[in-house]
Chains A and B, each alone.
Chain A
Amino acid sequence: MKNSQLYKGSLNTIVMKLLEENGRMYGYEITQKVKDITKGELKITEGALYPALHKMEAEGILEVEVENVDNRLRKYYKLTQKGTTETVNKLAELEEFIKNMQSIVQPKLDF
Chain B
Amino acid sequence: MKLTKENIQFIDTYLKNSNIIYVDIRLEMTDHIASAVEDKMQEENLDFYDAFKNYMIKNKAIILNNNKESNSFSWTEIKKYLLFIVQPKKLIFAMFLLLLHQFVDVNSYFSKAFSFNDLLLVLIVSISFFQIIYYFVYLKKRFYSLEKSGMILFIIYYTKMIFIPFGSEGSNALGLFFFYLIFAYSLFFFKEIRTFQKHKYNFA
Q: Chain A residues in contact with chain B, CB under 8 A? A: 26-29, 32, 45-47, 50-51, 54-55, 58-59, 64-66, 68-75
Q: Which residues of B contact A (CB under 8 A)?
A: 2-5, 7-8, 27-32, 34-36, 39, 59, 62-63, 65-66, 69, 74, 76-77, 80, 199-201, 203-204
Task: Please determine whether A28 and B2 come into contact, CB atoms closer than 8 angstroms.
Answer: no
B76 contacts across to A, CB distance below 8 A: 54-55, 58-59
Q: From known contacts A72-B30, A74-B31, infer whether A54 and B62 are also in contact, taking CB-CB under 8 Å.
A: no
| A58 close to B27 (CB less than 8 A) | no
Tell me what chain B mostly uses at the interface: helix, strand, loop, or mixed. Answer: helix
CB–CB A72/B80 < 8 A: no
Q: Give chain A residues whose Cβ lies under 8 Å from the Cβ of B203.
A: 68, 73
Expressed in whole angstroms, the minimum distance between the Cβ of A27 and any Cβ of chain B is: 5
Q: Across the A-B interface, how many residue pairs have beta carbons closer than 8 Å?
A: 70
CB distance from B141 to the nearest CB of A (A): 13
Q: In the complex, what residues of B have CB within 8 A of residue A32's CB? A: 39
* Given A58-B76, A59-B76, A66-B201, A47-B66 contact (CB < 8 Å): yes
| A-side contacts of B31, CB under 8 Å | 26-28, 69, 72-75
A27 to B24, CA, bound (A): 14
Contact of B65 among A28, A47, A66 (CB under 8 A): A47
Report the separation of the CA atoms of residues A46 and B7 in the bound assembly, to the nearest whole angstrom: 21
Cα(A11)–Cα(B55), bound, Å? 24
CB distance from A52 to the nearest CB of B (A): 10
Whether the Cβ atoms of B201 and A28 lie closer than 8 Å is no
Q: Is the CB of B8 within 8 A of A46?
A: no
Instruction: Given the known inter-chain contacts A46-B59, A55-B76, please indicate yes or no for A72 contacting B8, CB distance below 8 A.
Output: yes
In the complex with contacts A50-B69, A58-B76, A72-B27, A27-B32 CB distance below 8 A: yes
Q: How far is the CB of B124 from chain A (nearest CB, A)?
A: 24
Assess the B27–A46 pair: CB atoms within 8 A: no
Determine if A28 and B32 form an interchain contact, defined as CB atoms under 8 angstroms apart.
yes
Q: Which of B7, B59, B76 gathers the greatest number of chain A CB atoms within 10 Å?
A: B76
Q: Other than the known A47-B66, A70-B3, what 18 A-B pairs have Cβ atoms closer than 8 Å?
A: A28-B36, A29-B35, A46-B29, A46-B32, A46-B66, A47-B65, A50-B28, A51-B66, A54-B69, A64-B199, A65-B199, A66-B201, A68-B203, A71-B7, A71-B8, A72-B31, A73-B31, A74-B31
